[in-house]
Amino acid sequence: MDYRDLINDTLLVAFEKFETLKSEKAFLSFLFGICVRLLANNKRKKHEVELIDDATINSIKDQSSDASIDAEVHFLHKALTQLNDDQRECIVLFEISGFSIIEIAEIQSTSISSVKQRLKRGREKLVELLNFESSLKMEEVQNG
CB atoms within 10 A of CB 101: 17
Chain centre distance of CA 139: 28
Tens digit of each residue's pLDDT (9 = 90 or more) over 74-86: 778 888 889 998 9
Domain 63-144 has CATH 1.20.1250.20: no
| pLDDT of 110 | 92
CB atoms within 10 A of CB 118: 24
How high does pLDDT run on average in the chain?
Answer: 80
Tens digit of each residue's pLDDT (9 = 90 or more) over 83-135: 998 999 998 888 888 889 998 998 889 999 999 999 999 999 988 888 876 66
